[in-house]
Structure 1
Amino acid sequence: MTTAWSRRTFLATSAVLTAAVGAALTPPASATPLSPSPAADPYAALRATWSRLILGEGFSPTAEPFRSRLTDLGAKARGLLETMAPADGSLWPDAVFADPDPDTDAESFAFSGRMADSFTRLNTMAQAYRQQGTGLTGSTALRDAVLTGLEHLNTQVYNDRQTRYGNWYSWQIGAPQALLDVCVLLYDAIAPERLARYCAAVDHFVPDSAVASYTGTSTGANRVDLCRVLALRGAVGASAAKIALARDALSPVFPLVSKGDGLYADGSFIQHTTVPYTGSYGSVMLGGLGMLFALLKGSDWEVTDPKRQVVFDAVENAWAPFLFNGLVMDAVAGRAISRGEADDHRRGHPILASIVLLGQGASAAENTRWRSLVKGWAQRDYYSPPLSNPSLGLTALARIKNVLDDSALTPLPEPDGHRLFPDMARATHRRPGWAASLSMADRRITYYETGNGENLRGWHTGSGMLYWWGDTFANGQYSDAFWPTVDPYRLPGTTASRKALANGAGGDWGASLPDVNWVGGATDGKRAAVGQYLRGLSSTLMAKKSWFFLDDTVVCLGAGIQCRDGAIVETTVDNRNLGPTGNAPFTVDGSAKPLTLPWSATLTGASWAHLGGHGGYVFPGGATVKALRENRTGRWRDINTGGSADQLSRKYLTLWFDHGRDPSDASYAYQLLPGATEQRTAARAADSGWLRVLANSDDQQGVAVPSLGLTAVNFWFGGTVGPLVADAPCSVMVTEHGDGTATVCVSDPMRKRTSLTLTWNRTVASVVSKPATVTSATTGTSLRLVFGDLSATRGATQTVKVRLA
């Protein structure tokens, strides 16, 4: 429980301590050490490099957007200077970090967080002191206040006698990173004896043993952060051994992994064992590696491990697929989606800057290509231009502006095609004008992550959530207060029970995993068949869900939907965030629906619907769909205990299938057409021959699109669907090409098949190419493919190319 201070007592005590401690701790001029020349001192060279990395270079402090940003930095530092009041248990009155008797773990976490935040505030002040144009550049009062603060925190809490409490991250990463940054920025003003004590504190909380094994909290992004602490500890304390340890401890991060945290061969990135985290922890890791590579480049401790090429390759294999016009997709951001201060665009921009920095250590060809990619992403972000991102640091801002100003660079367009990530149950699809991503869950990948009081209602994000964006429209769909205002039981694409769930249901840190194996699909890199055997979180819900990602549409099928929760089950076709005004016209079968709020209707026999400014929906054969236009309110604090309590309001248009209470064998079918006009949507619905639904049952789901020469089937069990026959569960996509060839794509999403026989009843002349997993291929009036052991393929697509008769 926090000590009860009256405001008057607190301020009086703070004032006395500020004066007394400030006078006692301000170092005399004679005690200020002078740094040797960087040329003669390798540690001074590292500190000089790190100063440039955290302060930035190559920009004018009098030019925008830097002038305004520096002014803001100065104002923030001035506010911190004016409110800093060293007292027992705090450095600022609103950041009490010491409590002799915390009542709960949550309180203990909060106190440790405030301790780390106190160092972060000092870092802000130190940067305002060192940066040009802040209004406090070179201010001795500001410098002395930072020195006072460092000493106060060392005396009070961050020292080699303190026992850790609360969040380990605060002690091993948050606090020491900020502390060491300040030590670098103010190195010449800190007496050697003090530096020794600060280093001793870091050694106490981040001993060499912190990176002795690649386990627990010392993997992936966390390992990179710990290495940053060790490297800076070495630079500040002149310890070659610490820097060498930091360099060598990076090596376990580089190799591709087959389980747990890290980068996978298919481009997946996992942190916390079960959470897809490319856009959050992955961003931290990418940025941290870029900074460490740059820090150590040209020094005696340069990172030369050849496996670091894995990280360079991952720029386009792992990160680029989830970047779209400046944003990073929420499907790989974990609990970060619940943080109101950083939406998908604001999380994406630091990744762009990190790619630019990483390129400095890559090959010339890689560097040029990445800069061209970044220029394209940054130029196309009309919704939230990177140079206007208030949370983007000056260094990142400078890197992105440098790329935008580089007239020799030709911006690269968004790629066109499909990427399937079976190792993290994710998929991305890109077509001219739009992009989509899909998030699922299985026995290896959690439904969602909650922890530290964050993402309390992300329950159904792994239940087949289908995100989509346009290149010139709807880029703020999930950015504009979507997460605190959307109905968490009606996330786009998901099938969910309306059974009420408690905040954080299922457990912290991705603990809850569905007991299913069939999640994945097959892709030729352009189109895909993807499926999810869904079991609901804390629910009896079961369903088979399939998505067929095609040229201008995503065909969505659901079957075998059953539940015994005593609650209604729904499949949400879409739930579009229309912003504060929400006047997008909505038309069903050519009939305009009201713009009034609230408005709801049951659309019986609907064959198509269109939402102006977004896209169209087609219901093959007609369907009964429910629609709702409503105003929804919420607060970030509702889904994140540390979030803002401000009430937010957004308008939504929701379309869903109501499967009723406790359905036994419900199903659905629809097409999503992102960006389609009303006319094109109506035309697709009228073209009854364009799409043939071959199967939509608990056993198989499949479609054929004759104009594309495509047949795709998810076999939940073996059987016959159209021209395809499989003797066991698998995913299959066959495409006939105009040159007389065909591509047969097959995968084992369950990762359990030791044999599989697939027959395509189509006359085939010869096999052009096949993978080693095919043990027999028979052609003639049909194609018979016999696969050997597929269990080690990790759900990856096996591609066979044939020549048709």
Structure 2
Amino acid sequence: MTRSWSRRSFLAATGTASLTAFALGSPLFGGVAHGATEHDTLRAKWRTLLLGSGFSPTAEPFKSKLAELGASAAAYRTAMAPASGSLWPDLNFADPEPDTDQESYGYSGRMAESYYRLGTMAQAYCQQGTGLTGDAALKTAIVTGLDHLYAQVYNENRTRFGNWYSWQIGAPQALLDTCVLMYEHLSATQLANYCRAVDKFVPDSAVGSYTGTSTGANRVDLCRVLILRGVVGADSAKIALGRDALSPVFPYVTSGDGLYADGSFIQHTTVPYTGSYGSVLLGGLGMLFALLAGSTWAVTDPKRQIVFDAVENAWAPFLFNGLIMDNVSGRAISRGISATDPKAVMASDHLRGHSILTSIALLAEGASATEKARWRGLVKGWIQRDYYSPPLQNPSMGVVGLSRLQSIANDSAVTAIAEPTGHRLFPAMARATHRRPGWAASLSMANKRITYYETGNGENLRGWHTGSGMLYWWGDTFANGQYSDAFWPTVDPYRLPGITASRKVLADAAGGDWGASMPDVNWVGGATDGQRAAVGQYLRGLQSTLMAKKSWFCLDDAIVCLGANIQCSDGTTVESTVENRNLGPTGGSTFTVDGTVKPATYPWSQTLTSATWAHIGGHGGYVFPGGATVKALRDSRDGKWSDINKGGSTTTLNRKYLTMYVDHGYNPTDGSYAYLVMPGATTAQTSARAADTGWLQILANTDDQQGVRVPSLGFTAVNFWFGGTAGALTASAPCSVMITEKSDGTAVVCVSDPMRMQTALTLTWNRAVASVTSKPSTVTSATTGSHLKLVFGDLSGTAGATQKVTVKLG
């Protein structure tokens, strides 16, 4: 089987989820002999980490996985034809390319992929049940291949060309892993040759400073290379260097790459990347912690606890029913089906999520007993709830990952933990998650620190508007395939759910690679009490004159969406997309508007005049307070993965969509919208909410403020784009405010400075308040009585975090 690997695909598969073997005591399987050195012990541990243990090669699903591995290795062995400039005819690495960072398609990427194939062959050699276990001809081919690549391209005399990643991470990791697997069959000269090559391209200076490509997940990968170079070459100093170079990864950062105190994870300086690079970091650290535990080089830096804390602070909030939300996966969302292997699913939100589950399971082995028990409970819950893409049936996961997950799934001592409810804001990466019983939602936005989207390596070519207020949501027993089922290659990229966008035609990769384009705006963020929230985005369009104010008020069974001052002079129309549901290949869901079931034919379109509610069968309801003119259409859309990813399949796919959007017209000057999204609501629940005209009060929906009040919930919230008054709230400067009045006579007042610019702020709530029972240090004065007056000091250093004040009502 031939597979075109992306930058991370192979390492995600082999590093934490797919290699398998038996830790046998014979030389063939790298057993540790009596009197072994500590380096030998580490080598044996790495084999076990790479190749797994504790599963039966004759039991499913392991039996089939091992057979597949053997078939792949056999195909690679048959096709291998050492020649000048290549080891396989389809992977020519002879001609240096410009340094264009095209690692997936350029010559340096082919060099790295050659090592990946040798790694697959080595795995098959070291496994029972592959049909090639201990095969002499396969062993000879592997060793021949290693020597050929050393002589031809990856050696200490070669000048690097193409993408840095192939030389410093991709090739050396695969090379060193193969050296561990084949160690007993490599001479001292061969091992020394390969180590010199690694030293040339990954010198000690690669981790000399925590900058550039040596940060975050990349730093962990580089440390893995150095540590394994030390293990293979019995170089204690290299192991110590790699171990010590992990330390800069642990502390929270306040800018650039890494983990933030609010749970954000950034890579490439401006890209939210919890689900892709973050997964690599989590898996890589889990492997290295496990390798070095109990050795001379054990990782003892106390700040590694930040990584353990991040399991629930950074990763769990974006995991739902086994999937990892696409809005923290960067350009990885465009990796669907490979161009060279139509049967190979390269990635999806579920498959990426499963890889993270295996990493959490591994990391748990080095955590405290309390953490380990809880994480295993979380993983078991995710395994049980992922009905759409069951992790134990994941076609891209090998036996290591499967064995880790199966051991948890079958452990009767582990109690599955339910999905949490509540709201999380991630100001550092302009994201938010909202979880309620039965569903979850997430928002992706952009500001002067966070990019609109990431493209690069010919990937994610049309993700332009994913940061323009895209509102994702999933149900517990429905709609989990919304973004998994060929959504990205078939959806209209100008009509992503929740966004406001100009119809101005954008070129593929518009804005530049690696998250280069960011809007020059500050006000993006919100306030939350941990259950409900007010979130806002001052939107400016990518390569567009579009400007808009967008707000979301996240409540118990609905999200209230407001848009105001929508203006644009692009010479095109502007639309705000209420919904764009992927209904799969058949598209059979009913669509009801104000009690009337609309036609189920494709294509179909209609302007809904004075619509008060709509409902999509099997998904949820939508309410338009006071009525609205909304355009609706059933659309049958064709697309190919190669449209959005140069390495994607060229097979045409078709998916059916049901779309609702507000058409703001040509060059609008003051467009607006207001609607509620009710995930999972029935037709009756949607109709009832629309009929209850007093349930929601819109306090403001203007360029100055956007705010709502829901009396039955005791909820009041206003996003102040400028100082002013909305309802009972007055603010002296821009801020986000959310108040919940409780049945016990108290209220929680939540305030934030999304702009990170306010050195002083006064908030007045025209409501009788008897006393302030708790307040943060940022509140310098609090006056109670017929109204509440809160004076805040400097908020510019709070990083957009919510300031909570608890009061006793009068």
Under TM normalisation by the shorter chain, which class is it? over 0.9
Contact 2:98–2:162 under 8 Å retained in 1: no
CA contact (8 A) 2:96 2:161 kept: no
SS in 1 for 2:106: helix
Match of 1:284 in 2: 280
Partner residue in 2 for 1:85: 81
Q: Secondary structure at the match of 1:792?
A: coil
- Name the SS of the counterpart of 1:746 in structure 2: strand
* Mapping for residues 305-320 of structure 1, pairs under 5 Å: 305-320=301-316
1:14 aligned partner: none
Select 1:226's aligned residue among 210, 216, 222: 222
Residues 1:670 and 2:666 aligned together: no
Partner in structure 2 of residue 397 of structure 1: 402
Structure-2 change in CA distance of 1:117 and 1:670 (3 Å): same
Q: RMSD in angstroms over aligned alpha carbons?
A: 1.4
* Conserved? CA contact 1:39–1:45, under 8 Å: no
- 1:597, 1:630 within 8 Å by CA — same for their partners in 2? yes
- What is the CA–CA distance in structure 1 between the aligned matches of 2:626 and 2:783, rounded to whole Å? 38
Partners in 1 of 2:698 and 2:371 — Cα distance? Answer: 44
Shift of 1:40: 2.8
Displacement, 1:392? 1.4
1:272 to 247, 250, 268: 268
Quick one: which amino acid aligns to residue 732 of structure 1? V
**Matched-pair contact (CA < 8 Å) for 2:216–2:257:** yes
Q: Which residue of 1 aligns with 2:582?
A: 577
Partners of 2:536 and 2:551 within 8 A in 1: yes
Q: CA 1:585–1:308 in structure 2 vs 1: closer, same or farther (change >3 Å)?
A: same
Alignment of structure 1 residues 293-372 onto 2, 5 Å: 293-340=289-336, 341-372=346-377
Code of the residue aligned with 1:81 in structure 2: it is R
TM-score, normalised to structure 2's length? 0.95
Counterpart among 728, 731, 734 of residue 733 in structure 2: 728
1:195-231 per-residue CA deviation (whole Å, 9 max, x = no partner) reads 0000000000000000000000000000000000001
Q: Deviation at 1:561?
A: 0.2
Q: Among 23, 38, 58, which residue is 1:42 paired with?
A: 38
Instruction: Identify the residue that residue 784 of structure 1 maps to in structure 2.
Output: 789
Runs (4+) off by over 4 Å:
31-36, 100-109
3-state SS in 2 of match to 1:195 = helix
1:72 to 51, 68, 76: 68
Aligned to 1:415: 420
State the percentage of identical aligned residues.
74
2:152 pairs with 1:147: no
The aligned residue for residue 180 of structure 1 is 176
1:538-549 correspondence runs (5 A): 538-549=543-554
- How far apart are the structure 2 equivalents of 1:308 and 1:483? 36
Distance (Å, rounded) in 2 between the aligned partners of 1:75 and 1:717: 64
Equivalent-residue separation in structure 1 for 2:67 and 2:97 (angstroms) = 41
Partner of 2:769: 764
Tell me the alpha carbon deviations over residues 577-623 of structure 1, each in whole angstroms, 9 at most, x when there is no partner: 00001110001001011111100000000000000000000000000
Provide the aligned length of Structure 1 versus Structure 2: 775
State whether residues 580 and 650 of structure 1, in contact with CA within 8 Å, keep that contact through their aligned partners in structure 2: yes
Q: Which residue is 1:21 aligned to? A: none
Partners of 1:373 and 1:413 within 8 A in 2: yes
> Relative to 1, partners in 2 of residues 1:249 and 1:87: Cα closer, same or farther, differing over 3 Å?
same
Matches of 2:97 and 2:188 in 1, distance apart? Answer: 35
1:248 aligns with 2:244: yes
Return the letter of the residue paired with 1:380.
R
Q: 2:433 aligns with which of 424, 428, 435?
A: 428
Q: Any idea what SS the aligned residue of 2:797 has?
A: helix
Map of 2:615 onto structure 1: 610
Matches within 5 A, 1:191-210: 191-210=187-206
**Structure 1 residue 107, shift from structure 2 partner:** 8.9
TM-superposition CA deviations, 1:445-466 (whole Å, max 9, x none): 0000001111000000000000
| Aligned counterpart, 1:6 | none
Shift in Å, 1:528: 0.2
- Which consecutive residues of structure 2, in runs of 5 or more, have no partner in the other structure? 1-26, 337-345
> How far apart, in 2, do the equivalents of 1:480 and 1:98 lie?
38
Shift of 1:34: 9.1
Secondary structure of 1:232 counterpart: helix
Match of 2:802 among 769, 772, 797: 797
- Once the two structures are superposed, residues 251-280 of structure 1 have per-residue CA deviations (whole angstroms, 9 ceiling, x without a partner) of 000000001100000000000000000000
For residues 558 and 292 of structure 1, the distance between their equivalents in structure 2, rounded to whole angstroms, comes to 48
Q: Distance in 1 between matches of 2:34 and 2:143?
A: 23
Ranges in structure 1 where 5+ consecutive residues have no aligned partner? 1-30
| Alpha-carbon distance change, 710 to 633 in structure 1, aligned in 2, over 3 angstroms | same
* Of 462, 468, 471, the match for 2:476: 471
Task: Report the Cα offset of residue 170 of structure 1.
Answer: 0.5
Matches within 5 A, 1:611-690: 611-690=616-695
| 3-state SS of 2:676 partner | strand
Q: Residue 103 and residue 527 in structure 1: after superposition, are their counterparts in 2 closer, same or farther (change >3 A)?
A: closer
Q: What SS does structure 2 have at the residue aligned with 1:193?
A: helix
* C-alpha distance 107-174 of structure 1, shift in aligned 2 (>3 A): closer
Whole-angstrom distance in 1 between the partners of 2:59 and 2:30: 32
Superposed CA offset, 1:81-137 (max 9, x none): 111111111111111111157697759961111100000000001001111111111
Distance 2:28 2:679 in 1: 63
Equivalent-residue separation in structure 1 for 2:164 and 2:98 (angstroms): 16
Amino acid of the residue matched to residue 652 of structure 1? Y
**Quick check: 1:446–1:510 contact (8 Å CA) kept in 2?**
yes
Higher relative contact order (CA 8 A, sep 6+): 2
Q: 1:565 aligned to 570, 585, 593, which one?
A: 570
